[in-house]
Amino acid sequence: LENIASERVTVELLKALAGKKPSILGVLIKSGGLSSFGISGKADWSTLDRLPKNSLLRLAALVKMCDCDINDIQSKLRFSNKQKTELLGYFEILDLKELTPKNLKPFAKSVGYNNLVIAVEAYGVLNNEDVKEVANKIQLAAERNEPYSIEMLDISGNEIKALGFSG
């Protein structure tokens, strides 16, 4: 596969991960077919089949499962800047030691509320944990359209200063 353009490998890898049975990639990974792109290792590939059908989330999970270097993979495969940000966000969520709404707040901007909920579900699958309470809190925040960044607030810096706040 090293003779195929990395853009093409990225497209086909994401297609396979978005499919019904991404676990089939285990055969390719075990045989070393993706090692020149930084993906190698052993894992229970059937875990990928139980994850939400989001190719970047599944790729982040695959990287975590293989204990691969996310930065190495991002440098060898070709992603848009938006995809890189989202992939790294997913990876960092899946790599958290403890899953709490507070720990997740920094990722809302990079992946968005709806994708944050599926990332929480994936975290539960990978770590065999019940994450319903955390997922419900994130879903409630999304339904309430709660701001997760300053840009979402309907107030300017000058208006904040006029209220007597300074930084």
Tell whether the model's pLDDT for residue 148 goes beyond 80: no
- What letter would DSSP give residue 55? H
pLDDT at 3 > cutoff 60: no
- What element of type H or E holds 81? helix 81-94
Give per-residue pLDDT as tens, 35-68. Answer: 999 999 999 999 999 999 999 999 999 999 999 9
Residue 155 has pLDDT above 90, yes or no: no
pLDDT tens per residue, range 101-135: 888 878 877 788 788 999 999 999 999 999 999 98
Instruction: Name residues whose C-beta falls within 8 Å of residue 64's C-beta, 6 or more positions apart in sequence.
Output: 91, 94, 95, 126
**DSSP code string of 95-121:** T-SS--HHHHGGGHHHH-HHHHHHHHH
> At a CB cut-off of 8 Å and minimum separation 6, what does 148 contact?
105, 108, 109, 113, 141
**Nearby residues of 40 by Cβ (< 8 Å), 6 or more positions away:** 29, 32, 34, 66, 68
Confidence of residue 163 (pLDDT cuts 50, 70, 90): confident
Model pLDDT, residue 159: 82
User: Model confidence at 71, in pLDDT bands (50, 70, 90)?
Assistant: very high
| Sign, Cα dihedral of 136, 142, 143, 147 | positive
pLDDT at position 151: 65
Share of the chain above pLDDT 90, in %: 65
Q: What is the pLDDT of residue 19?
A: 95
Long-range contacts of 106-110 (CB under 8 A, 24+ apart): 108/148, 108/149, 109/148, 109/149, 110/85, 110/86
150 pLDDT above the threshold of 80: no
- Confidence bin at 165 (pLDDT 50/70/90): confident
